[in-house]
Structure 1
Amino acid sequence: MSSETFERLKETVGSFVVDYKNRVSRKLKSAQTSNEESERLLAETERSIESAYRNLQGMEREVSVAPAEFRTMMNAKLRSLQRDVDTINREVKSVRTNQSIARGGGYPGSSSIYDPRADIATLEERQRQQVMFGTDVLNRASESVLRTQRVAAENEEIGVEILGELGTQREQLQRTSRKLDETKAELSKSRKLLNTMQRRVISNKLLLMGIILFEVIILLAVIYIKFIK
């Protein structure tokens, strides 16, 4: 996505282009427009063109520092607006020149119409700005690299701490596993002992029941011999 500054400048230039096409251009070409009104519109439009070219330069700066994946889209919007502004500038120059000729003020080429290209976009200025843009990009890239290095160092420290904690937890798990094995062995011994005790209890019960039954038989035999016979 493009920057907020780029979008704001784009909206400003776009509004100027739409206003010129829908309102100003028709008035300048209309025969009903007075000379005073035409002069006022030309002066306002020339000031607006100057401002539009400055805004386009601001958009160029934003494109130069934008992430590479967004530059193609941003450049397309920028070039489209530049073509529109250039077209408006040529039309205004043509109207201004025609008015000057009609008033006897000279021939095309003798007009002192504002030329934003000569005023704010000289070769030396553009080169200086490109160097500044490049320096700014390098500074931002350097800051980004430093931030990345700091984050990497912090992540490395966190990784070392995590490895240490994992090693400690591994030792604890190994000790717990050994204790569980020992507990399991103890439980197995206890289970065997309980089974043995249970068998002995059952055997004792059976033996006791046999003795009682034997004593009852003897008692019945004594009663039979003594009282019945």
Structure 2
Amino acid sequence: MEYEARKAPMTFRGSMLSTVRDHREQIAKFQNELSISSFSKLKEDKSSSSLDLPSETDDPIRRQILMGAASLDRTTQMVLSSTQVALETEAVGEEIINDLGSQRETLQRTRTRLAETEADLSRSRRILRRIYLGVIQNKICLIFLIIIQIVIIIFILYWKFLRKS
């Protein structure tokens, strides 16, 4: 059940793990009650089967054993709880590491695309610069041609009007 809870999606994982933890606590509680009742049953059986009166030294020892068993059960529960918390923390850490890995891959792809885009932009700048220089060259040629045409028109007018006089 715990294995299935760990493999469940994050939205259900927390509730499933807490349910598993609750079941474990109930099992430990029942085991503790069972051990206490078995000690009590053993004590009753011994006292009813023996003809002697129970010795007073056995009773404190039994109490101490029961207290030790209860303490052991509580310690076991604490260890199980700590183990569960550690497993949950490990699962969260693993998920974070996976997320960071995918984010790293995304960043690397983005960096590669950015470098490609930068190379494309520098090629585009060079092409635009060549086009700009070609436009300036064409303007200079047009201005030169216009000046030549104006000079020719002036020369023709001069030739036509001033030559007759």
In which range does the TM-score fall when normalised by the shorter chain? 0.5 to 0.7
Letter in 2 for 1:146: L
Counterpart for residue 199 of structure 1: 133
Deviations 1:82-137, CA, capped at 9 Å, x for gaps:
xxxxxxxxxxxxxxxxxxxxxxxxxxxxxxxxxxxxxxxx9988776665554443
Larger radius of gyration between Structure 1 and Structure 2: 1
CA distance in 2, matches of 1:207, 1:126: 119
Matched, 1:139 2:73: yes
Counterpart for residue 4 of structure 1: none
CA distance in 2, matches of 1:199, 1:123: 112
Post-superposition offset of 1:160 = 2.2
The structure 2 residue matched to 1:161, chosen from 95, 103, 108, is: 95
Task: Please list every run of 5 or more consecutive structure 2 residues that lacks an aligned counterpart in the other structure.
Answer: 1-55
Identity of aligned residues (%): 39
Counterpart for residue 182 of structure 1: 116
1:1-229 equivalent positions in 2, closer than 5 A: 133-229=67-163
Measured on the aligned residues, the alpha-carbon RMSD in Å equals 2.5
Post-superposition offset of 1:159 = 2.1
Letter in 2 for 1:147: S
TM-score of the superposition, structure 2-length normalised? Answer: 0.56
Letter in 2 for 1:188: S
Task: Please list every run of 5 or more consecutive structure 1 residues that lacks an aligned counterpart in the other structure.
Answer: 1-121
TM-score of the superposition, structure 1-length normalised? Answer: 0.41
Letter in 1 for 2:74: R
The structure carrying a bigger helix percent of its residues is 2
CA distance in 2, matches of 1:178, 1:222: 66
The size of the alignment, in residue pairs, is: 108
